[in-house]
Chains A and B, each alone.
Chain A
Amino acid sequence: AQSVSQHNHHVILSEAASLELGCNYSYGGTVNLFWYVQYPGQHLQLLLKYFSGDPLVKGIKGFEAEFIKSKFSFNLRKPSVQWSDTAEYFCAVTVSSSARQLTFGSGTQLTVLP
């Protein structure tokens, strides 16, 4: 079965710092990759997703992610974080063998200090 690893459990940054959250998956076939975000007190919502084509995808609020197939990675980046980016971020994947089942990583709590 596929799995998703997010090695950073809690990241603390100051405003204007650059962000990179790691995400690695284990599956040798075709994958669809997602980043979801949960702001404090709000619903989990989609940040961005990658299916095929340009491996650099842009999402909402200035976030982007790069799919590197050789490294089984889909890291999330933002050049300059804001206090409002404080949230929990989840990487997730669907695979061809169980297409509708979204497998999530354990999440990364990002705290941005003003």
Chain B
Amino acid sequence: DVKVTQSSRYLVKRTGEKVFLECVQDMDHENMFWYRQDPGLGLRLIYFSYDVKMKEKGDIPEGYSVSREKKERFSLILESASTNQTSMYLCASSSPSGLAGQETQYFGPGTRLLVL
């Protein structure tokens, strides 16, 4: 089974702090993704990566950055946390198969972040 793990299930930070959310997958997947999930808004893509040291902006990248130094690990960074970044953060991974866009994404358990 594909396993995607996230470093914390719950996190409480203060406004202005730098926050690191870590994601690790064990299936040698090329693609990794960071989403935030908010009630009534579904999941929105923040950043994604097709390969090591490669990143692309998703729909809502403002206030976030990412790092992918190793294939299995994809980090989301909040440079200066703000209260509007309080949310559930989900990491996902997938492997290219068939035509692009047809891959199944495998999700981690999520990190619920509260910024005070």
Residues of A within 8 A of B (CB): 1, 4, 6, 9, 32, 34, 42-46, 49, 51, 90, 92, 94-96, 99-107
Contact = CB atoms under 8 A, between A and B. Distances in A.
B12 to A, nearest CB: 20
Contacts of A102: 33, 43, 45, 105
B50 to A, nearest CB: 7
A46 B104 contact: yes
A32 B99 CA distance: 10
Interface residues of B, number: 30
A90 B102 contact: no
8 contacts: A42-B109, A43-B107, A43-B109, A44-B90, A51-B98, A94-B100, A100-B48, A101-B58
Contact of B100 (A43, A100, A104): A100
Contacts of A43: 4, 106-110
Q: Which of A4, A32, A44, A90 has the most CB of B within 10 A?
A: A44
Interface string B15-53: 000000000000000010101000011111100101000
A94 B94 CA distance: 14
A63 B42 CA distance: 21
Q: Which of B42, B101, B106 has the most CB of A within 10 A?
A: B101
B103 A100 contact: yes
Contact of A106 (B40, B58, B90): B40
Interface of B: 4, 31, 33, 35, 40-45, 48, 50, 58-59, 90, 92, 94, 98-110
Q: Which of B4, B58, B105 has the most CB of A within 10 A?
A: B105
Nearest 3 interchain pairs by C-beta = A94-B101, A99-B100, A99-B101
B5 to A, nearest CB: 10
A96 B45 CA distance: 17
Nearest to A94: B101
B104 A101 contact: no
Given A49-B104, A95-B101, A100 B43 contact: no
Contacts of A49: 102, 104
Contacts of B108: 43
